[in-house]
Amino acid sequence: MKIQFDESTPNTGFKDKNGKNIRRGDIVKYQDSEGAYIINFDDQDGKYKIGGLDLENESSKLTVTSNLFENAQKMRKRQKLE
């Protein structure tokens, strides 16, 4: 199954610290940490999560850097050019 990133990728209803919409599959930076995290939906809790934390409580500490689906498309294009 191929998933395309576009503006219809599910919006979580939350914004990062810069006011950018946070979408499912976004790759985010958490405060000053060096790692990157992916926004996921936890079916069991019915909530969007970053790691094991509820996105609702953490969104103001995040910066969206890219999207998992968008990055996969860029990588495929780059591989085709090589």
Say how many domains are in the chain: 1
pLDDT at 13 over 70: yes
Q: Is residue 19 part of a domain?
A: yes
In a domain, 64, yes or no: yes
Q: For residue 43, is it within any domain? A: yes
- The CATH number that applies at residue 77 is 2.30.30.290
- Residue numbers of the domain that contains 24: 11-81
**49 within some domain:** yes
Q: Tens of pLDDT along 15-72?
A: 999 999 999 889 999 987 888 888 999 999 999 998 888 999 999 999 999 888 776 6
Evaluate if pTM is beyond 0.75: no
Question: Between 10 and 39, where is the model more confident?
Answer: 39
Beta sheet of 26-30, edge-to-edge order: 53-54, 47-50, 36-42, 26-30, 62-67
Q: What is the pLDDT of residue 2?
A: 41
Asked if residue 3 belongs to a domain, the reply is no
Q: Does 2 fall in a domain?
A: no
Residue 51 belongs to some domain of the structure: yes
Interval 73-82: pLDDT, tens: 666 655 555 5
